[in-house]
Amino acid sequence: MRIFSGIQPTGEIHIGNYLGAIKQWIEFQEGNDCIYCIVDLHALTSDYDPETMRDSIMNKAIVYLAAGIDPEKSTIFVQSEVKEHTELCWYLNTLTPIGELERMTQYKEKSKRKKKRSNAGLLNYPILMAADILLYDTEVVPVGEDQKQHIELARDIAKRFNKRFGETFKVPKAQLPKKGARIMSLKNPKNKMSKSGKKGNAVSLFDDPKTIEEKIKSAVTDTDNKISYDPKDKPGISNLLVIYSEFKDQTIEESEKELKGESYKVFKEKLTEVLIESLDPFRKKRRELEKRREVYVEEILSQGAKKAKTLASSNIARVKRKMGLV
Ligand code: ATP
Ligand code: LTN
């Protein structure tokens, strides 16, 4: 199967990104044709610093590799290095009703936060995302829950194109993990854990042991000191249980049984220990890759872009033919 997914270069990758998206990416590498993209053009829709953008892009490539994406098995590339993404985005713009874009939850939230500083890129963001996906005949898109609505839109756009111009695009499917599709903020478990959220809301994939300990210690819980999974009434503890179970590779029921009768203090100590142990290899691998940044990582991205470009340009040629442009 063709698998495609992407993450923006800005912000620190956290355990929500890992459990929601990257962990699935790694699993899909066996026996599938995977393309993983650093979506820098999407990041331009938020406030960013041009001085540090290229560095953030390189850092994200290192994160992909440190987390376990194998360049021998998967294609890794930077979105802006394959111009066909913006070209297809334009064609798809002409097929997308504005009302559908205005209904997107992420757009509503982000534009509300930005008020007058909201930009057209933010509205068109899901069309560029649809272009990313459709450009590679993608069948499966592994993402966290917050991206499900965008993939629904990509499916609608693909179907609309096929209906208007004849069978062209595969209609992609979102793939969410069973658990961990929506890891919540440690500070406010009603909100999702997020790169752009409040400080301490997220454990970064590369946090050192002391930082992990502090963040888990100050994670919001509740007052009844009972460890059980009940997202509605006990959102904080339930979120910690999901994280614990995922990193221990056991079911929530197994974790509940293991922790029965323990205090929140002991639970948090156990969770801290599991996180430190699980994240340690990522930190080590990243340190190694930092040293090979210039040659090795640049080469992977350049090879990746070449491969992506070959696929993208033949697909664009097909789209242009169907649309009557050539
Ligand atoms: P931002 O705060 O800038 O929106 P983010 O933390 O939401 O960033 P993205 O780059 O938008 O991160 O998401 C990358 C991938 O991680 C997507 O597939 C997304 O669905 C997934 N993801 C993001 N946050 C979570 C979360 N809290 N739980 C599970 N998956 C998540
Ligand atoms: N919007 C996504 C990032 C993204 C993406 C994609 C994910 C851009 N293009 C294509 C999957 C497939 C996000 O996580 N914020």
User: Residue ranges per domain, the chain?
Assistant: 2-180+292-322, 209-287
Contact 71, 65 (CB under 8 A): yes
Cβ contact 111:123 at 8 Å: yes
Whether the per-residue pLDDT at 164 is higher than 80: the answer is: yes
Closest ligand to C-alpha of residue 150 is: 2
Which are the contacts of 81, defined by CB distance < 8 A and separation ≥ 6?
Answer: 301, 305, 308, 309
DSSP H/E element including 38: strand 33-38
pLDDT digits (tens, 9 = 90+) for 179-207: 999 999 999 999 999 998 888 999 999 99
Ligand 1 binding site (Cβ under 6 Å of any ligand atom): 7-8, 11, 16-17, 19-21, 143-144, 146-147, 181-183, 192-196
pLDDT of 116 higher than 90 = no
Superfamily (CATH) of domain 2-180+292-322 = HUPs (3.40.50.620)
Q: How far is CA 152 from the centre of its chain?
A: 16
pLDDT tens for 5-61 read 999 999 999 999 999 999 999 999 999 999 999 999 999 999 999 999 999 999 999
How far from chain centre, in Å, is Cα 62?
15
Provide mean pLDDT across the span 111-126.
90
Q: Active site residue: 73, 110, 148, 226, which one? A: 110
What angle (nearest 5°) sits at the alpha carbon of residue 279, between those of residues 34 and 52? 70
Check if the beta carbon of residue 289 is closer than 8 Å to that of residue 297.
yes
Give per-residue pLDDT as tens, 119-141: 999 999 999 999 999 999 999 99
Q: Is residue 117 pLDDT above 90, yes or no?
A: no
- Chain centroid to CA 29: 16
- The count of residues in the chain is 326
Superfamily, domain 209-287 = Tyrosyl-Transfer RNA Synthetase (1.10.240.10)
Q: Is residue 254 predicted with pLDDT exceeding 90?
A: yes
Residue 268 Cα to ligand 2 midpoint, Å, equals: 32
Going by CA atoms, what residue is nearest to atom 14 of ligand 2?
7
Mean pLDDT (whole number) for 165-179: 97
Q: Return the pLDDT at 294.
A: 82
Query: Among this protein's residues, is 159 annotated catalytic?
Result: no
* Mean local confidence (pLDDT), 102-126: 92
Question: What is the mean predicted confidence (pLDDT) over 72-78?
Answer: 98
Among the bound ligands, the one closest to the CA of 109: 1
Burial of 261 (0-12, 13-18, 19+ CB in 10 A): exposed
Residue type, 118: S
Atom of ligand 1 nearest to the CA of 46: 3
- Name the residue among 234, 227, 230 with its Cα closest to residue 262: 227
Beta carbon of 21 within 6 Å of any ligand 2 atom: no
Instruction: Tell me, in angstroms, the distance from the centre of ligand 2 to residue 7's CA.
Output: 6
For ligand 1, atom 19, name the residue with the nearest CA.
144
Asked about 195 being catalytic, the answer comes back as yes
DSSP letters along 51-65, please?
Answer: HHHHHHHHHHHHHHH
